[in-house]
Structure 1
């Protein structure tokens, strides 16, 4: 007898499945950047991005797809990447890091994702956000 339950978060593509696959991820990322642009407390972070957010949205969806255990869309579309180095030109302090994570939390809430997914995902996202902050601090010291 086989079990048809979805994998747990962090197991295979369980996190991506919980988000709703690539389509759900696309919706999450679009919501995330809309909130970032429309919310005064997140607007400074939004202003660090290009005016045309199409490529930014696509790159975050592609990165997060692989990061969440799904297809590695980023390397297929854009080649190899070092997340901290890709952001090294930006000044990212604890303030911007917290802003990014808080904005993602608001997007997850707006889309009514379950509390346990949010509780799993946000601490996991803190790790790459911290690496970006560390590289920024080293580059802009």
Structure 2
């Protein structure tokens, strides 16, 4: 009897976006960079004004949300007090300009965190769908 040769078998290894961007450290880096850009960029003034002066709590919530959304540990969803992400954004006046500010910050954060190529395109499309769905004001 001989041992099976694993190289001869079809092996499919599927990595999640969470793993491909560096796991917990990668998601933390992306989240921190996103909020740093939002906090410093004058062109993000509309979305910055929707946040408290202390970005720490919302930074942690986004980190936890993205962790699960990207295929890692579902930290946000394990919180007893977690809210539907859509209803959490409903009270805010989010239109095209605010969506675009958010996307500009996230795109810069992805670029600054060396998320490039196919992964950048995949995440950019997904983030745009999410940001567009958060709009509470009509298009236009």
Alignment check: 8 A CA contact 1:28 1:108 kept = yes
Structure-1 separation of matches of 2:124 and 2:116 = 12
SS of alignment partner, residue 48 of structure 1: coil
Per-residue deviation, residues 101-132 of structure 1 (Å, max 9, x unmatched): 11101111112222221111011112221221
Q: Could you say which residue in structure 1 is the equivalent of 2:83?
A: 81
Q: Which runs of 4+ in 1 moved over 4 A?
A: 2-6
Per-residue deviation, residues 43-96 of structure 1 (Å, max 9, x unmatched): 321121011111100100111111111111002234442111101110000111
The RMSD of aligned alpha carbons is 1.8
Per-residue deviation, residues 5-50 of structure 1 (Å, max 9, x unmatched): 552xxxxxx1001121111111111110101111111132112101
Q: Could you say which residue in structure 2 is the equivalent of 1:10?
A: none
Q: Which runs of 5+ in 2 are unaligned?
A: 1-5
Q: Could you say which residue in structure 2 is the equivalent of 1:52?
A: 54
How many pairs does the alignment contain? 130
Of structures 1 and 2, the larger Rg is shown by 2
1:1-141 equivalences in 2 (<5 Å): 1=6, 3=11, 5=13, 7=15, 14-133=16-135, 136-137=136-137
Structure-1 separation of matches of 2:46 and 2:133 = 20
Q: Which runs of 5+ in 1 are unaligned?
A: 8-13
Structure-1 separation of matches of 2:105 and 2:112 = 10
